[in-house]
Every structure is written in C-alpha cells, then in structure tokens.
Amino acid sequence: MSTPAGASGSLNWKEIDLVLSELALPGSLIQEIHQPRHDRLVLHLFRAGEQSMLLISLSPRFPRMHALTEKLPNPGTPLRFASFLRSHIRGGRIETAEQLRAMSDPSLGERIVKITVRRGEDVNVLWVRLWGAAANAILTDESDVILDAFYRRPKKGEISREILEPRGKGSGHPRAKVTGTPEYSVRELPGEGSFNEKLEALYADLEGKGDRERAAAQAEAELEISENKLLSNLERLRARLSEYGNLERYRELGNLLTSNLHLVVRGERWIRVQDFFHENVLVEIELRPELTPAQNAESYYDRHRKARLGRSKVQDEIENLEATLGRIRAQRAALAANPDAQSLVTVAKDAARARKPLHETDVPGLVFVSPPFRILVGRTAAENDELLRKRVRGNDWWFHARDWPGAYVFVKAQPGKSLPLETMLDAATLAVHFSKGKTSGQGDVYYTRVKYLRRAKGARRGTVLPTQEKNLHVKIDPARIERLKTGAPPGASS
C-alpha cells in the first residue's frame, strides 16, 4: 500500500533506501559544503564527470535527504557546522553510503544514514539521523568518537569526544519496541522524474506554503501593532497640538508689556494694563520679580517663539505619522494578494520600524519659523553634517552664503506648498547673518533642493557641492532678524 509521510513529514525507511539507490553516492568527491539555513546542509559532489548537490534537512517538520537541483543562497558568513565539515571532509571521497538496519529486524531500516568519507589517510563518518524532532547530523572518526554534531545535545551524549550511539542512548529506535511492525512503502508522488526530483518538488511546495503562511501571519501582526501604535501617537500629538491654541496670546502679552514698560516696577508680581488687543479691557499680566521690565517682555516673546516652534514640530510629526499610517493601511489591504514570502518579511520589518518611538531630542543648531515653514540653521560643520544626514530630506531647501564660510540654512518643505518669497528672504537673510560676511550687511546667497547636493570627496565633514542652484541677493534687515528671533509673523510689530 501507499503510505504517506508521518505527521512530521519525514521519509520512511523504504523511501530513504530508494533515495540512496538513485543517488549512488559512493565514489563521489565532496567539492564544497554550505549551510543555507540553520536547519540544513548542502554537499556539492562530483562523480563520473558530473556535478550534483545533496540536501540534508534536519527540520523537525520535514527531516529528509535527497538530490537538489535548485541552488540555495549561501550565507556570507559560513555557519558553524558547515565550517567544521569543510575542515574535515571537504576534498574527501565518499566510500560508502547506507542506511542502518534495525537491530530487532535486519530487514527494516532505521532512518539513519551512515556516510563514510576518506580524505588522504583520514577516514571520518557522517551520520544523518532523520527522526523528526530528534534529527541530527554527527561527524565521528573511525572509532565512533564524536568530533562535532549539528545539534549539540549533552543529555543525549551528542557532543564532542563522546562515543556515538547512532540509535540514541537506550535500546535503539522506538519502533524496535513495537510489536506488529507497521508496513511501509514508497509513496506515489506527483510530477515527473526520479523519486529524488519528486521529493524536491514536494517539499519545496510544502515549505514554501508554510513559509508564506508564517510570513503573512507575522506581517499582519506587525502591521496591526504598528497601526494601533501610530493611532495612539497621533491621538497624543493632536492633544498636544490643541495646547498650542493660544500661543498668539504670549506675543500679545509681550507687546502689552513693551508698550507699558514705564509702568512696570521691578520686583512686582503683577501689572494691570489696558488690553488694546481686546477692546481695552483691563488685564493682569504675571511678572517675574527677578527680571527687568524689558526682560519680562522678552520672556513672553520667548514663550511665544518656543510654542510656535513646538507647534510646527508637532504638525510635522502629525503629517509624517499620517503618511506612515496611510502606507501601513495600504500594505494591510494588499497583504492577502502578496505570495512572496521574502516580501512579506520585508513588510513585517518595515512595519516594526515604522512604530518606533518618535525622537524627541532637540534639533542641532538653531530653529526659526517663517510660517508655516520651519528653518533649521547649522552653525558648525558638525551641526551641518547632522542636519544633512538625519534632519532634512530631498525636497527640503538649502541656502548658503556665496563666497563666505558660514551656516547651512535649511527650509523644511511643506507638502503641496511652494516656497514663498518672504520665506526665501528669511532663509537667505539668516544665511548671510550666520556667515563671515555678516559685517558687510549684505551678500549673495545660493539655494537649491537638498536632493541636488552631493558630498565633496576628501573634503571636511558636511561639505557639499550644489547643483541646479539659483542666486539671491539680500541685505541684512535687523527688523527681519528680530522678527525671526521672537517668532512673530511677518508684518507684526513688537
């Protein structure tokens, strides 16, 4: 009768005999050995002018050995057991390859293959046991002393310098104890070619389906976790954004104090003035007693500037998270139609990466706002390099004073918005202001998109060469610099 593989998908002893008879391993030269995955080996063989490959899989689900026609990827760094076998049997010739017979009944096989290899004067034996969860490959010398094992199992005595008991410690293969030995036969497998070729096709399909199912489940889980994490972050950021709703009030209070400096007494905690922003009603403004009147006004401008920068940063983060969330949802929608296991693994990794915590660290250099754009200024080579590598993208804008050493000034692009002249003048003015040409009061500035910058080979860190750049001539306007420092909108008076 035709008997299917067991629950583990392993070969029965008659199938192993057929595999070995088709392979005709004796006389084969072992040219190379590699370990494409953690649970399998591939021996590259040469015999009678022909090359072939032998797969030894020690997977608990599908332990097997058979000829291999499709080359498997070889890891860049050789894995441990493959390296060990290379040093002991590569270049050797297989003298015998046979299945052990059962101790209780020599007419039965034990699903243990003994491969004897001679290399010069040395003779070693590669034992391949295909027992599902107990599968292993063990190399011994002629006296059955273990040199090393694929799976090192000290409790079973399968470690170096122990004497190998091929059938395991105890009374041998579990089947030897069973009365009424079951009958086995070679399965009728679909496809064309030899039994080895049919086995290769069968297990490629079985493992491929399993890999895809596991990868799909992992990708779906990662995507769901990432989507939930992104939604949680968005909720938190939107709540923070609402806290910036009254940031303009800080600027108004600064203006009220500036207009009433003559009434501010140092050391007082409060001052009451008419609020000309709100129909001249009386309003009390809290003061810091240790500051001068002018410093108290400046403190409100500073709070306004920081709140504006914070709001701009939160808005950027919300836009980035919303874009990421859209991508995650699109990937979830397309997941069911993706049969490629490797692509699914990539999707899972990208999803895990997308939900990493947002970086709350300060941006290097200085940050200004030219609503609704953020302007980043790197004052040193280190700050310039940090901004270039980690804080800007291809569509952001780069400004730099022409013919003068100085800061890199970046304007963060806004989706769907072109760069207005006022923001260009703000960025160009900052580029001249933070350059060696500041004392001249004016200068030429070139600008281009970040994607049109290329790093200069052999130059100091952060040095770039612009292409497709344009030129802008500006004069330093103190009022513009002051507005950028206080964070006031264009046209605002202090």
For CA atoms 73, 78, 79, 84, give the dihedral sign: positive
**What's the rounded Cα separation, in Å, for the pair 211 and 471?**
56
**What's the rounded Cα separation, in Å, for the pair 373 and 413?**
7
Chain position carrying tokens 């070969």:
11
Q: Which amino acid is at 178?
A: V
Tokens read off for 419 = 């760069």
Predicted confidence at residue 431, as pLDDT, reads 95
Asked whether the whole model's pTM tops 0.75, one would answer no
Question: Domain coordinates of the chain in residue numbers?
Answer: 13-188, 215-354, 366-486
E strand or H helix that includes residue 83 = helix 80-89
Predicted confidence at residue 486, as pLDDT, reads 64
Per-residue pLDDT of the chain (494 residues; tens, 9 = 90+): 333 444 346 899 999 999 999 999 999 999 999 999 889 999 999 999 999 999 999 988 889 999 999 888 888 788 899 999 999 999 999 999 999 998 888 889 999 999 999 999 999 999 999 998 899 999 999 999 999 999 999 999 999 999 999 887 654 444 444 445 567 899 999 889 999 999 999 988 887 776 666 666 766 777 777 778 778 878 888 877 776 767 778 888 889 999 898 888 888 899 998 988 888 899 898 898 888 988 888 888 888 877 777 777 777 777 777 877 777 777 767 766 665 555 665 666 666 655 554 443 456 888 888 887 889 999 888 888 889 888 888 999 999 999 888 899 999 998 888 999 999 999 999 999 999 888 888 999 999 999 999 887 777 777 888 999 999 999 999 889 888 876 655 655 44
Which residues are paired to 475 by β-bridges? 442
**What's the rounded Cα separation, in Å, for the pair 15 and 99?**
11
Where would I find the beta strands (DSSP E) of 224-280?
Answer: 270-275
Please answer whether residues 355 and 229 qualify as being in contact, where contact means their C-beta atoms are separated by less than 8 angstroms. Answer: yes
**What's the rounded Cα separation, in Å, for the pair 333 and 430?**
46
Between 293-335 and 195-243, two packed helices, what is the crossing angle to 10 degrees? 150
Predicted confidence at residue 5, as pLDDT, reads 42
Which residues are paired to 116 by β-bridges? 96, 125
What's domain 13-188's superfamily in CATH? ibrinogen binding protein from staphylococcus aureus domain (2.30.310.10)
The neighbour count for residue 234, using CB atoms within 10 Å, is 16
Where would I find the beta strands (DSSP E) of 276-432?
Answer: 281-286, 366-370, 373-378, 397-401, 408-411
Please answer whether residues 193 and 156 qualify as being in contact, where contact means their C-beta atoms are separated by less than 8 angstroms. Answer: no
Predicted confidence at residue 332, as pLDDT, reads 67
Provide the b/e sequence for 17-37 (b: ≥16 CB within 10 Å).
bbbbeebebeebbbebbbbbe
**What's the rounded Cα separation, in Å, for the pair 2 and 5?**
10
Predicted confidence at residue 341, as pLDDT, reads 55
Predicted confidence at residue 12, as pLDDT, reads 93
